[in-house]
Amino acid sequence: MTAFARPDRNLPRNLLARVADDTLWLIALLHVVLAASLVVALFFVAEADAQEAECGGSNVLTALAKTDPTKFATLEAEAAAVPNGKGIFWKIEKDGIAASWLLGTMHVTDPRVLALPAEAPAAFAAASTVIVESDEIVDEKKSAAAILMRPDLTMFPDNKTIADFLKPSDREQLEAGLKARGIPLTLVARMKPWMIASFVALPACEISRKATGASFLDKKIAEDAVSQGKTLKGLETLIEQLAAMDSLPTELHLRALIETLALGKTIDDVFATMTDLYLSGDTGMIMPMMRSVSDKGTAEDFGYADFEQRIIVDRNKTMATRAEPILKDGGAFMAVGALHLPGKEGLVELLRAQGFTVTRAN
């Protein structure tokens, strides 16, 4: 078997910064990683401390505005240039049909996020159909079983382990980083690196709430739809989501995992900042903020563009295509990850291209 290229500790700092970027994308794409975490949970969440952990982290933009106002102003300008970068709740209209609604979600259990924008509960109550990324999330056991039926997406084949693709120094860092999080490397060694990264990128408070059975926003919306007798429809299957992650090079995932561990508590700061931005509806600032965590240079991206294309842009197009016939019936409430909404190839623009009028509702 041909060996994958391995992370190199002599890489220039600007390249490592880019790798850190890839890691932070994992945090933003929590729907995919939470699906993966169902599998991880089968192995060790039962042994985790289920007591509520406090959410740590501080807003990096608040600090940046004080320490480097010029850089902060640059980020503000970048965010302002993102099409549809303000607002997480949108109204979808077309002549002759009832209005539908689009909510950008953050795939977490934070009570502040679960509260929804002020305008959303009434729209949800009036909707006859609810659309989520995957309707399979309402049944965790069924979801986990479906994922386990495709071990090729989450586990190394042929008795390979992650150690087979690591330099000794990287193995030491990985082993120490996992140990600090209470995860023995031997327990997860056969899992593909993006699977491991998906779990260690979550803050302790998310893990503890999930261990006690709390639903993340998308799942709660889906559960509420079912309990209220609404029609629930999904735009993707969990297997499609996992396949999208698995389609990316193992080298990229290895670097992302190692950099996730190396970032340490910075992950908590980014998570806290992303939550603040989401709650304020400033989705256009999320990616500039992530890129600001470390200095970016002009190093070759080594798969970053593929990551963005496969995980964001391609999925946006799939979601828009599959949502169109549902939205044409009107009266729908659609909830997908907030990062799928903004941008020239975001869902807001894609739905407009289908002939819908999409306007900010909050």
- pLDDT of 255-296, one tens digit each? 878 877 877 778 888 889 999 999 999 999 988 887 777 544
Q: What is the mean pLDDT of the chain?
A: 81
Number of Cβ within a 10 Å radius of residue 195: 24
Q: What is the pLDDT of residue 70?
A: 96
Distance from C-alpha of 189 to C-alpha of 132, rounded to nearest angstrom: 32
pLDDT digits (tens, 9 = 90+) for 78-129: 999 999 999 999 999 999 999 999 999 998 889 999 999 999 999 999 999 9
- Structure confidence at residue 38 (pLDDT): 42
Average pLDDT over residues 346-353: 98
More confident call, 329 vs 51: 329
What DSSP element (H or E) covers 267? helix 266-280
H or E element in which residue 105 lies:
strand 100-105
pLDDT for 208: 79
Most confident of the following: 33-42, 160-169, 186-195, 231-240? 231-240
pLDDT confidence band for 304 (50 / 70 / 90): low
Tens digits of residue pLDDT in 145-165: 887 888 898 899 988 999 898
Structure-token match 């919306």, residue found: 221
| Band of residue 214 on the pLDDT scale cut at 50, 70, 90 | confident
Q: Where are the domains of the chain?
A: 13-50+70-360
**Residue 297, pLDDT score:** 39
Residue scoring higher pLDDT (19 or 302): 302
Two structure tokens written together for 119: 């305008």
Provide mean pLDDT across the span 46-58. 59
- pTM for the structure as a whole: 0.82
Q: What single DSSP character describes residue 137?
A: G
* Residue-level pLDDT at 27: 42
Statement: residue 298 has pLDDT above 70: no
Average pLDDT over residues 298-321: 76
The region of weakest confidence among 229-238, 245-254, 340-349 is 245-254
- Give residue 196's identity as a one-letter amino acid code: I
CB under 8 Å to 249, separation ≥6 — which residues? 4, 303, 306
pLDDT score at 24: 39
pLDDT at site 53 = 59
User: Does the pLDDT of residue 239 top 50, yes or no?
Assistant: yes
Strands 357-360 and 89-93: antiparallel
Residue 209: the pLDDT is 83
Q: Give the pLDDT confidence score for residue 294 in this predicted structure.
A: 54
The model's confidence at residue 340, banded by pLDDT at 50, 70 and 90, is very high
The single-letter code of the amino acid at 338 is: A
Higher pLDDT, 327 or 214: 327
Q: Does residue 321 come out as left (phi exceeding 0), alpha (psi in the -120 to 50 range) or beta?
A: alpha
| Cβ(321)–Cβ(345) below 8 Å | no
What is the structure's pLDDT at 204?
78
What pLDDT sits at residue 303?
Answer: 56
* Count of H-run helices and E-run strands, the chain: 20, 6
Share of the chain above pLDDT 90, in %: 45
Share of the chain above pLDDT 70, in %: 82
